[in-house]
Amino acid sequence: MTASNTFDHVIVGGGLQGCLLAHAIAHHQPAARVLLAERANDLCGNHTWSFHASDIPASARSWLDPLISKSWPGYSVSFPGLSRRVGIAYQTIASDDLREATLRLAAGEAGEVGRGGFEVVCGEPCEIVSPTCVRIGETTLINCTAVLDCRGRAAAVKSPSGVGYQSFIGHEYETDRPWPVSEPTVMDVRADQACGFEFLYELPFGPQRVLLEYTRFSEEPICSESRAEELIAARLREAGVTATSRLRSERGCLPMPYSAPTGGKLVPVAGGYAGGWYHAATGYSMPLAVRFADIVAQVEPVSIAAALSKEAANDSLRRSFSRLLNRLLFCLVRPADRWKIFRRFYRVLSEEQISRFYAHRFTTADAARIVIGRPPTGLAPIRFAKSFFPRTGPGLA
Ligand X SMILES: Cc1cc2nc3c(=O)[nH]c(=O)nc-3n(C[C@H](O)[C@H](O)[C@H](O)COP(=O)(O)OP(=O)(O)OC[C@H]3O[C@@H](n4cnc5c(N)ncnc54)[C@H](O)[C@@H]3O)c2cc1C
- Please give the residue whose beta carbon sits closest to ligand X in the complex: 15
Rounded to 5°, the CA angle 237-241-245 comes to 110
Reply yes or no: is the peptide bond before residue 80 cis, omega within 30 of 0: no
Which of 13, 394 has the CB closer to ligand X?
A: 13
What is the C-alpha to C-alpha distance for residues 74 and 62, in angstroms, rounded to an integer?
A: 21
* Residue 144 C-beta: closest distance to ligand X, Å: 15
Considering only the stretches 224-232, 234-242, 268-276, 374-382, report the one whose residues sit in contact with ligand X under the rule CB under 6 A.
268-276
Residue 296 interacting with ligand X (CB under 6 A): no
What mask, x for binding ligand X by CB under 6 A, covers residues 226 to 265? ------------------------xxx-x-----------
Which of 241, 139, 223, 267 is closest to 181 using CA atoms? 241
* Residue 60 C-beta: closest distance to ligand X, Å: 14
Residue 185 interacting with ligand X (CB under 6 A): no
* Residue 250 C-beta: closest distance to ligand X, Å: 5
Residue 220 CB neighbour total at 10 angstroms: 11
Residue 152 interacting with ligand X (CB under 6 A): yes
**Residue 163: alpha-carbon gap to chain centroid:** 17
Question: Based on the number of CB atoms within 10 Å of its own CB, is 155 exposed (0-12), middle (13-18) or buried (19 or more)?
Answer: middle
Residue 12 interacting with ligand X (CB under 6 A): yes
Q: 250: phi > 0 → left, psi -120 to 50 → alpha, else beta; which? A: beta
Which of 117, 283 has the CB closer to ligand X?
A: 283
**β-sheet bridge partners, residue 260:** none
Near ligand X by CB under 6 A: residue from 7, 9, 11, 18 = 18
Residue 37 interacting with ligand X (CB under 6 A): yes
Considering only the stretches 146-154, 191-199, 298-306, 349-357, report the one whose residues sit in contact with ligand X under the rule CB under 6 A.
146-154
Near ligand X by CB under 6 A: residue from 58, 154, 302, 382 = 154
What is the C-alpha to C-alpha distance for residues 219 and 330, in angstroms, rounded to an integer?
A: 7
Considering only the stretches 38-46, 140-148, 190-198, 301-309, report the one whose residues sit in contact with ligand X under the rule CB under 6 A.
38-46
Which of 174, 250 has the CB closer to ligand X?
A: 250
Residue 117 interacting with ligand X (CB under 6 A): no
Which of 18, 114 has the CB closer to ligand X?
A: 18
User: Which residues contact ligand X (rule: CB under 6 A)?
Assistant: 12-18, 37-40, 45, 47, 49-51, 125-126, 150-152, 154-155, 168, 250-252, 254, 272-274, 278, 284-286
